[in-house]
Structure 1
Amino acid sequence: MTDIFLKAKHWQLFSMLIGLPILGYIIMFALFFDYATTTNDLDATTLKSFAIIIPCVALIVMYVLFGWFWSIAIGLQTKVPNTVKMKVKKFKVFFFIPFIYILSLLVFMALFGLSDFEAEPDLNSAFPFGLLTIMLPLHFLSIFGIFYSLYFVAKTYKTVELQREVSFSDFAGEFFMIWFYFIGVWIIQPKINEMVEDTPMEAQYV
Protein backbone atom coordinates (compact mmCIF):
# COMPACT_ATOMS: atom_id res chain seq x y z
CA MET A 1 0.00 0.00 0.00
CA THR A 2 2.83 2.39 0.83
CA ASP A 3 4.25 2.21 -2.70
CA ILE A 4 0.90 3.19 -4.17
CA PHE A 5 0.72 6.38 -2.11
CA LEU A 6 4.40 7.23 -2.43
CA LYS A 7 4.34 6.87 -6.21
CA ALA A 8 0.96 8.54 -6.69
CA LYS A 9 0.94 11.88 -8.49
CA HIS A 10 -0.08 15.02 -6.67
CA TRP A 11 -3.17 15.50 -8.82
CA GLN A 12 -4.29 11.93 -8.10
CA LEU A 13 -4.13 12.47 -4.34
CA PHE A 14 -5.82 15.86 -4.66
CA SER A 15 -8.60 14.32 -6.73
CA MET A 16 -9.25 11.68 -4.09
CA LEU A 17 -8.93 14.02 -1.12
CA ILE A 18 -10.78 17.05 -2.47
CA GLY A 19 -12.24 16.39 -5.92
CA LEU A 20 -14.14 13.18 -5.11
CA PRO A 21 -15.78 14.51 -1.92
CA ILE A 22 -16.82 17.73 -3.65
CA LEU A 23 -18.31 15.75 -6.53
CA GLY A 24 -20.09 13.41 -4.15
CA TYR A 25 -21.59 16.22 -2.11
CA ILE A 26 -22.64 18.14 -5.23
CA ILE A 27 -24.50 15.08 -6.52
CA MET A 28 -26.03 14.44 -3.10
CA PHE A 29 -27.29 18.00 -2.62
CA ALA A 30 -28.50 18.17 -6.22
CA LEU A 31 -30.60 15.06 -5.66
CA PHE A 32 -31.71 16.42 -2.30
CA PHE A 33 -32.79 19.73 -3.82
CA ASP A 34 -34.53 18.04 -6.76
CA TYR A 35 -36.42 15.65 -4.48
CA ALA A 36 -37.42 18.41 -2.08
CA THR A 37 -38.73 20.71 -4.83
CA THR A 38 -40.67 18.00 -6.68
CA THR A 39 -42.26 16.19 -3.75
CA ASN A 40 -42.16 18.91 -1.06
CA ASP A 41 -41.54 16.12 1.43
CA LEU A 42 -38.68 13.86 2.46
CA ASP A 43 -39.51 10.39 3.68
CA ALA A 44 -37.38 8.38 6.12
CA THR A 45 -35.89 6.23 3.36
CA THR A 46 -34.57 9.26 1.49
CA LEU A 47 -33.11 10.75 4.66
CA LYS A 48 -31.41 7.44 5.44
CA SER A 49 -29.77 7.31 2.03
CA PHE A 50 -28.43 10.84 2.42
CA ALA A 51 -27.25 10.12 5.97
CA ILE A 52 -25.25 7.12 4.72
CA ILE A 53 -23.60 8.95 1.81
CA ILE A 54 -21.88 11.50 4.08
CA PRO A 55 -19.94 9.01 6.25
CA CYS A 56 -19.09 6.92 3.18
CA VAL A 57 -17.51 9.89 1.43
CA ALA A 58 -15.73 10.85 4.65
CA LEU A 59 -14.46 7.28 4.96
CA ILE A 60 -12.81 7.49 1.53
CA VAL A 61 -11.13 10.78 2.42
CA MET A 62 -9.95 9.39 5.77
CA TYR A 63 -8.50 6.27 4.13
CA VAL A 64 -6.57 8.26 1.53
CA LEU A 65 -5.34 10.91 3.98
CA PHE A 66 -4.24 8.48 6.68
CA GLY A 67 -2.82 6.17 4.04
CA TRP A 68 -0.72 9.05 2.74
CA PHE A 69 0.50 9.87 6.26
CA TRP A 70 1.37 6.24 6.95
CA SER A 71 3.17 5.81 3.65
CA ILE A 72 5.42 8.82 4.24
CA ALA A 73 6.15 8.01 7.88
CA ILE A 74 6.74 4.26 7.38
CA GLY A 75 7.56 3.93 3.69
CA LEU A 76 10.42 6.44 3.83
CA GLN A 77 12.07 4.89 6.89
CA THR A 78 14.41 2.90 4.65
CA LYS A 79 15.84 6.21 3.40
CA VAL A 80 16.41 7.68 6.86
CA PRO A 81 20.15 7.86 7.71
CA ASN A 82 21.42 5.19 10.11
CA THR A 83 22.66 7.92 12.43
CA VAL A 84 19.11 9.22 12.98
CA LYS A 85 16.75 7.34 15.28
CA MET A 86 13.05 7.81 14.61
CA LYS A 87 10.42 6.87 17.22
CA VAL A 88 8.40 4.70 14.86
CA LYS A 89 6.59 2.69 17.56
CA LYS A 90 5.41 5.87 19.25
CA PHE A 91 4.13 7.15 15.93
CA LYS A 92 2.17 3.95 15.30
CA VAL A 93 0.43 4.25 18.66
CA PHE A 94 -0.63 7.86 18.17
CA PHE A 95 -1.49 7.18 14.52
CA PHE A 96 -3.99 4.42 15.23
CA ILE A 97 -5.74 6.24 18.10
CA PRO A 98 -7.36 8.90 15.85
CA PHE A 99 -7.69 6.41 13.00
CA ILE A 100 -9.79 4.01 15.10
CA TYR A 101 -11.66 6.87 16.76
CA ILE A 102 -12.68 8.54 13.49
CA LEU A 103 -13.51 5.17 11.91
CA SER A 104 -15.77 4.37 14.87
CA LEU A 105 -17.54 7.73 14.52
CA LEU A 106 -18.15 7.15 10.82
CA VAL A 107 -19.51 3.66 11.47
CA PHE A 108 -21.74 5.09 14.20
CA MET A 109 -23.00 7.77 11.79
CA ALA A 110 -23.74 5.12 9.16
CA LEU A 111 -25.62 2.98 11.67
CA PHE A 112 -27.52 6.05 12.83
CA GLY A 113 -28.43 6.69 9.21
CA LEU A 114 -29.94 3.21 9.05
CA SER A 115 -31.93 3.76 12.25
CA ASP A 116 -35.55 4.83 12.47
CA PHE A 117 -35.73 8.61 11.97
CA GLU A 118 -39.30 8.67 13.19
CA ALA A 119 -38.42 7.25 16.59
CA GLU A 120 -38.30 9.81 19.38
CA PRO A 121 -35.09 9.84 21.42
CA ASP A 122 -35.26 9.00 25.10
CA LEU A 123 -34.06 12.23 26.71
CA ASN A 124 -34.24 10.72 30.19
CA SER A 125 -31.76 8.01 29.34
CA ALA A 126 -28.29 8.18 30.92
CA PHE A 127 -26.74 6.71 27.75
CA PRO A 128 -25.99 10.07 26.02
CA PHE A 129 -24.24 11.40 29.13
CA GLY A 130 -22.22 8.21 29.53
CA LEU A 131 -21.28 8.24 25.87
CA LEU A 132 -20.14 11.87 26.12
CA THR A 133 -18.04 11.04 29.18
CA ILE A 134 -16.21 8.36 27.21
CA MET A 135 -15.91 10.23 23.93
CA LEU A 136 -14.66 13.56 25.28
CA PRO A 137 -11.24 12.33 26.48
CA LEU A 138 -10.93 10.12 23.41
CA HIS A 139 -11.65 13.13 21.26
CA PHE A 140 -8.85 15.20 22.79
CA LEU A 141 -6.49 12.22 22.70
CA SER A 142 -7.30 11.78 19.01
CA ILE A 143 -6.56 15.45 18.34
CA PHE A 144 -3.18 15.04 20.00
CA GLY A 145 -2.59 11.87 17.97
CA ILE A 146 -3.34 13.69 14.73
CA PHE A 147 -0.94 16.53 15.50
CA TYR A 148 1.77 14.11 16.57
CA SER A 149 1.27 12.20 13.33
CA LEU A 150 1.62 15.44 11.37
CA TYR A 151 4.78 16.20 13.34
CA PHE A 152 6.30 12.76 12.71
CA VAL A 153 5.36 12.69 9.01
CA ALA A 154 6.90 16.13 8.43
CA LYS A 155 10.00 15.19 10.41
CA THR A 156 10.47 11.95 8.47
CA TYR A 157 10.06 13.74 5.16
CA LYS A 158 12.59 16.45 6.04
CA THR A 159 15.05 13.95 7.54
CA VAL A 160 15.10 12.00 4.28
CA GLU A 161 15.42 15.20 2.26
CA LEU A 162 18.30 16.63 4.30
CA GLN A 163 19.83 13.29 5.32
CA ARG A 164 20.54 14.45 8.87
CA GLU A 165 18.95 15.03 12.25
CA VAL A 166 16.41 17.84 12.04
CA SER A 167 14.69 20.15 14.50
CA PHE A 168 11.16 21.53 14.24
CA SER A 169 12.48 24.77 12.75
CA ASP A 170 13.77 22.71 9.81
CA PHE A 171 10.40 21.19 8.96
CA ALA A 172 7.88 23.73 10.32
CA GLY A 173 6.91 24.63 6.77
CA GLU A 174 6.34 21.00 5.83
CA PHE A 175 4.32 20.49 9.03
CA PHE A 176 1.83 23.18 8.03
CA MET A 177 1.77 22.03 4.40
CA ILE A 178 0.87 18.51 5.49
CA TRP A 179 -1.68 19.94 7.92
CA PHE A 180 -3.27 21.94 5.09
CA TYR A 181 -2.87 19.00 2.75
CA PHE A 182 -5.09 20.43 0.00
CA ILE A 183 -2.25 22.88 -0.68
CA GLY A 184 0.75 20.92 0.57
CA VAL A 185 0.10 17.85 -1.55
CA TRP A 186 0.99 19.86 -4.67
CA ILE A 187 4.39 20.77 -3.21
CA ILE A 188 5.35 17.76 -1.12
CA GLN A 189 4.18 14.84 -3.24
CA PRO A 190 6.39 15.60 -6.30
CA LYS A 191 9.43 15.61 -4.00
CA ILE A 192 8.30 12.33 -2.47
CA ASN A 193 8.08 10.88 -5.97
CA GLU A 194 11.70 11.90 -6.49
CA MET A 195 12.74 10.33 -3.17
CA VAL A 196 11.13 7.03 -4.13
CA GLU A 197 12.63 7.08 -7.62
CA ASP A 198 16.08 7.95 -6.19
CA THR A 199 16.43 10.93 -8.50
CA PRO A 200 18.50 13.92 -7.40
CA MET A 201 16.65 16.37 -5.20
CA GLU A 202 17.29 20.07 -4.77
CA ALA A 203 17.71 20.18 -1.02
CA GLN A 204 19.06 23.03 0.98
CA TYR A 205 21.28 21.85 3.81
CA VAL A 206 21.02 24.28 6.61
Structure 2
Amino acid sequence: MIAAFALSKILANPDFDISPNSFHANGLWSIPMIYSLVAYIQIHWFPASILVAKEQGKKPDFSQILGTFILLFFWPVGIWLVQPRLNRIYNAV
Protein backbone atom coordinates (compact mmCIF):
# COMPACT_ATOMS: atom_id res chain seq x y z
CA MET A 1 0.00 0.00 0.00
CA ILE A 2 2.84 2.37 0.85
CA ALA A 3 4.61 1.53 -2.40
CA ALA A 4 1.44 2.27 -4.40
CA PHE A 5 1.09 5.63 -2.64
CA ALA A 6 4.77 6.50 -3.25
CA LEU A 7 4.51 5.49 -6.91
CA SER A 8 1.43 7.65 -7.42
CA LYS A 9 3.28 10.64 -5.91
CA ILE A 10 6.31 10.03 -8.12
CA LEU A 11 4.29 9.67 -11.30
CA ALA A 12 2.23 12.79 -10.50
CA ASN A 13 5.39 14.90 -10.18
CA PRO A 14 5.88 17.09 -13.29
CA ASP A 15 9.68 16.85 -13.00
CA PHE A 16 9.54 13.09 -13.61
CA ASP A 17 8.02 12.08 -16.94
CA ILE A 18 7.81 8.60 -18.46
CA SER A 19 6.23 8.21 -21.87
CA PRO A 20 6.48 5.56 -24.59
CA ASN A 21 9.00 7.74 -26.44
CA SER A 22 11.11 9.20 -23.62
CA PHE A 23 12.19 9.13 -20.02
CA HIS A 24 12.80 12.61 -18.63
CA ALA A 25 13.91 13.74 -15.16
CA ASN A 26 14.65 17.24 -13.86
CA GLY A 27 16.10 18.53 -10.61
CA LEU A 28 16.56 15.97 -7.86
CA TRP A 29 15.01 13.29 -10.03
CA SER A 30 18.17 13.28 -12.14
CA ILE A 31 20.10 11.66 -9.26
CA PRO A 32 18.08 8.40 -9.28
CA MET A 33 18.11 8.54 -13.08
CA ILE A 34 21.92 8.66 -13.18
CA TYR A 35 22.14 5.93 -10.55
CA SER A 36 19.80 3.71 -12.59
CA LEU A 37 21.93 4.22 -15.70
CA VAL A 38 25.16 3.38 -13.86
CA ALA A 39 23.54 0.34 -12.23
CA TYR A 40 22.27 -0.92 -15.60
CA ILE A 41 25.74 -0.65 -17.09
CA GLN A 42 27.27 -2.36 -14.05
CA ILE A 43 24.80 -5.25 -14.36
CA HIS A 44 26.41 -6.10 -17.71
CA TRP A 45 30.00 -5.00 -17.00
CA PHE A 46 30.56 -7.16 -13.91
CA PRO A 47 29.66 -10.54 -15.49
CA ALA A 48 31.70 -9.62 -18.58
CA SER A 49 34.77 -8.85 -16.48
CA ILE A 50 34.36 -12.02 -14.41
CA LEU A 51 34.02 -14.15 -17.56
CA VAL A 52 37.12 -12.68 -19.19
CA ALA A 53 39.12 -12.90 -15.94
CA LYS A 54 38.16 -16.56 -15.52
CA GLU A 55 39.15 -17.34 -19.12
CA GLN A 56 42.51 -15.57 -18.92
CA GLY A 57 43.37 -16.35 -15.32
CA LYS A 58 44.33 -12.72 -14.60
CA LYS A 59 42.73 -9.31 -14.22
CA PRO A 60 41.62 -8.18 -17.70
CA ASP A 61 42.13 -4.74 -19.23
CA PHE A 62 39.30 -2.46 -20.33
CA SER A 63 39.77 -3.35 -23.99
CA GLN A 64 39.55 -7.06 -23.24
CA ILE A 65 36.24 -6.69 -21.39
CA LEU A 66 34.60 -4.34 -23.86
CA GLY A 67 33.73 -6.95 -26.49
CA THR A 68 32.09 -9.28 -24.00
CA PHE A 69 30.29 -6.33 -22.41
CA ILE A 70 28.78 -5.34 -25.74
CA LEU A 71 27.69 -8.92 -26.36
CA LEU A 72 26.00 -9.08 -22.95
CA PHE A 73 24.47 -5.63 -23.38
CA PHE A 74 22.72 -6.82 -26.56
CA TRP A 75 21.87 -10.12 -24.92
CA PRO A 76 19.44 -11.70 -27.41
CA VAL A 77 22.24 -12.04 -29.96
CA GLY A 78 25.24 -11.83 -27.65
CA ILE A 79 24.25 -14.72 -25.41
CA TRP A 80 24.56 -17.10 -28.37
CA LEU A 81 28.21 -16.12 -28.65
CA VAL A 82 28.90 -16.05 -24.91
CA GLN A 83 27.22 -19.40 -24.06
CA PRO A 84 29.97 -21.61 -25.59
CA ARG A 85 32.56 -19.73 -23.52
CA LEU A 86 30.52 -20.32 -20.38
CA ASN A 87 30.13 -24.00 -21.25
CA ARG A 88 33.93 -24.36 -21.62
CA ILE A 89 34.47 -22.88 -18.15
CA TYR A 90 31.71 -25.02 -16.66
CA ASN A 91 33.09 -28.22 -18.21
CA ALA A 92 36.61 -27.42 -17.01
CA VAL A 93 35.41 -27.26 -13.41
- Provide structure 1 residue ranges, at least 5 long, that are not aligned to the other structure: 1-103, 113-124, 200-206
**Deviations 1:128-153, CA, capped at 9 Å, x for gaps:** 22773665421221111111222211
Structure that is richer in strand per residue: 2
* Equivalent residue number for residue 36 of structure 2: 142
Structure 1 stretches of at least 4 aligned residues deviating more than 6 Å after TM superposition: none
Is residue 2:79 matched to residue 1:195? no
Is residue 2:56 matched to residue 1:162? yes
Distance 2:87 2:28 in 1: 41
Please tell me the root mean square deviation across aligned C-alpha atoms, in Å.
3.1
* Equivalent residue number for residue 128 of structure 1: 12
SS in 1 for 2:38: helix
Distance 2:15 2:90 in 1: 44
**Deviations 1:76-100, CA, capped at 9 Å, x for gaps:** xxxxxxxxxxxxxxxxxxxxxxxxx
SS in 2 for 1:140: helix
Q: What is the 5 A alignment of 1:175-194?
A: 175-194=69-88
TM superposition shift of 1:188: 0.3
TM superposition shift of 1:166: 0.8
* Length-normalised TM-score, structure 1: 0.33
SS in 1 for 2:59: coil
Distance 1:130 1:142 in 2: 19
Larger C-alpha radius of gyration, 1 or 2?
1
* Length-normalised TM-score, structure 2: 0.66
Counterpart code for 2:70: F
SS in 1 for 2:58: coil
Corresponding pairs, count: 78
**Greater RCO (Cα-Cα under 8 Å, separation 6 or more):** 1
- Provide structure 2 residue ranges, at least 5 long, that are not aligned to the other structure: 17-26
Counterpart code for 2:50: T
Q: What is the 5 A alignment of 1:75-154?
A: 128-129=12-13, 132=16, 135-154=29-48
